[in-house]
Structure 1
Amino acid sequence: MAAPHLAGVVALIKSIHKNWSPAAIKSAIMTTADRLDLDSKPITDDYDRTREPAGLFAIGAGQVNPQATIDPGLIYNIMTSNYIQYLCGLGYSDKNVSVIVDRQIKCADIDNISAEDLNYPSITVTLDPNVTKTVTRQLTNVVISGAEVYNAVVEEPKGASVVVTPNKLGFGGLGMKKKFTVEFKITDGSMSKDQESEGQLLWRSPKHEVRSPVSVTFA
């Protein structure tokens, strides 16, 4: 039943924010989702009947909060040109990308981006020992009135450090955009190859909380 419920939430958002892109709508749904259930307890994974807290790959961003999606504060937007950069960065041929976007594309003439740098509302990286990895994200203000200042609050994945730069962002007018970087580095050499660790990045203002799930896989 998740699909029809989400379709209804999308229709609700679109009725209020008629000019929002699909990516903006998805961002609003993901960044306002709840990590806890209605009893304020961690959402559990019922698949194997253990009732253990569910991981990111089971619950995604969390439980959708329809009311919060209407006023997310900030969104991670993605334009068509960004998807083209992403496809080229994945190594698709000019012919394949051209077929997908229905126009002629030359990846050599485009600033390609890695999958990790696509402006998605969550962050997933693979970390090699002794290597620092940095990803970039851009936030867009969707609050009609009033300036807000957001502070970054990080829940670091076990075994990795996370540094957000800058760790404070100020937004004034509607549509204002601000970029930031997130730097990852392994801090625990005992983490095994292909082990996964989870955390979160929260941008918090007095009125809004914009949450991004963070996943790290150790190489």
Structure 2
Amino acid sequence: MTNEEAELAYGSGQINPLKAINSGLVYDAHVNDYVKFLCSEGLNETLIRLITGENLSCEGNLTNWDLNYPSIALSTSLGHFDTMFSWAVTNVGSTNSTYEAIVGLPQGQALSIKEEPSILKFDSLGQKVSYNVRVSGTIDMRALMLGSLVWDDGEHQVRSPIVVFNLS
């Protein structure tokens, strides 16, 4: 990775309508997923009702990384961090496809990104496969750490930016 700030410049990727037609994988998120996210961000049920038009409630212990979204943003304190993220992708590309994980990290960062599994296999269109990403490391005076995870089947590259930052 040559430009450390690149993750903040282009996010999950520049929109290319021609590639969007044949994206390979998608991250499905539904209304309830977004409601959980809004609850984790501190919105109360009155505000959520204004947004959704429905009488929905915030229940359980929620974190803002529960949303099945193609990027990771982790706010952490100075020192060691170790967080597991769980996602699911849906195959909208080839019926039989295999995606390999490729992690991108700038040199010199105390950041580790480990995916499990490192290969995703699909046997049908619409098939959903889950995976985990462990983001760990140590953040000192540097307030921003960047990386990426790309799922590649040789035809499609499905990219997720990873940003770790502290607010202290």
TM-score (norm 1): 0.66
Report the counterpart of residue 119 of structure 2 in structure 1. 168
Contact 2:12 / 2:70 at 8 angstroms: preserved in 1?
no
Aligned partner of 2:17 in structure 1 is 66
Q: Distance in 2 between matches of 1:177 and 1:216?
A: 27
2:150 counterpart residue number: 202
Structure 1 segment 110-121 matched on structure 2, within 5 A: 113-121=62-70
SS at match of 1:103: coil
The equivalences for 1:76-155 within 5 A come to 76-108=27-59, 113-128=62-77, 129-143=79-93, 145-155=94-104
Q: Provide closer, same or farther for how the CA distance between residues 94 and 156 of structure 1 changes in structure 2, counting only shifts above 3 A.
A: same
Give yes or no for contact 1:123–1:212 (8 Å, CA) kept in 2: yes
2:48–2:56 CA contact under 8 A, matched in 1: yes
Query: Of the two, which has the highest radius of gyration?
Result: 1
C-alpha displacement of 1:183: 0.7
Give CA-to-partner distance per residue, 1:162-191, whole Å, 9 cap, x none: 11111111112111111111111115x6x3
Letter in 1 for 2:82: T
**Could you say what the CA RMSD is over the residues aligned between the two structures, in angstroms?**
2.4
Specify the code of the residue in structure 2 equivalent to 1:95. T
SS, match of residue 132 in structure 1:
strand
Return the TM-score normalized by structure 2: 0.84
What is the SS of the residue equivalent to 1:117? coil
Return the letter of the residue paired with 1:60.
Answer: G
- SS at structure 2 position matched to 1:116: coil
Q: Is the 8 A contact 1:126 1:217 kept in 2?
A: yes
How many pairs align?
Answer: 164
8 Å Cα contact 2:7/2:147 also seen in 1: no
Which blocks of at least 5 consecutive residues in structure 2 are unaligned? none
Identify if the C-alpha distance between structure 1 residues 177 and 116 changes in structure 2 by more than 3 Å, giving closer, same or farther: same
Code of the aligned partner of 2:136: K
SS in 2 for 1:153: strand
Matches of 2:12 and 2:89 in 1, distance apart?
17
Residues 103 and 62 (structure 1 numbering): CA distance in 2 closer, same or farther, change over 3 Å?
closer
CA distance in 1, matches of 2:49, 2:163: 31
Q: Is the 8 A contact 1:192 1:218 kept in 2?
A: no
| Inter-partner Cα distance in structure 1 for 2:5 and 2:154 | 29
Q: Is the 8 A contact 2:5 2:146 kept in 1?
A: no
Structure 1 residue runs of 5 or longer lacking an equivalent are 1-34, 36-41, 43-51
Structure with the larger RCO, 1 or 2 (CA within 8 Å, 6+ apart): 2
1:198 partner letter = L
For the 8 Å contact 1:127–1:185, the answer to whether it is kept is no
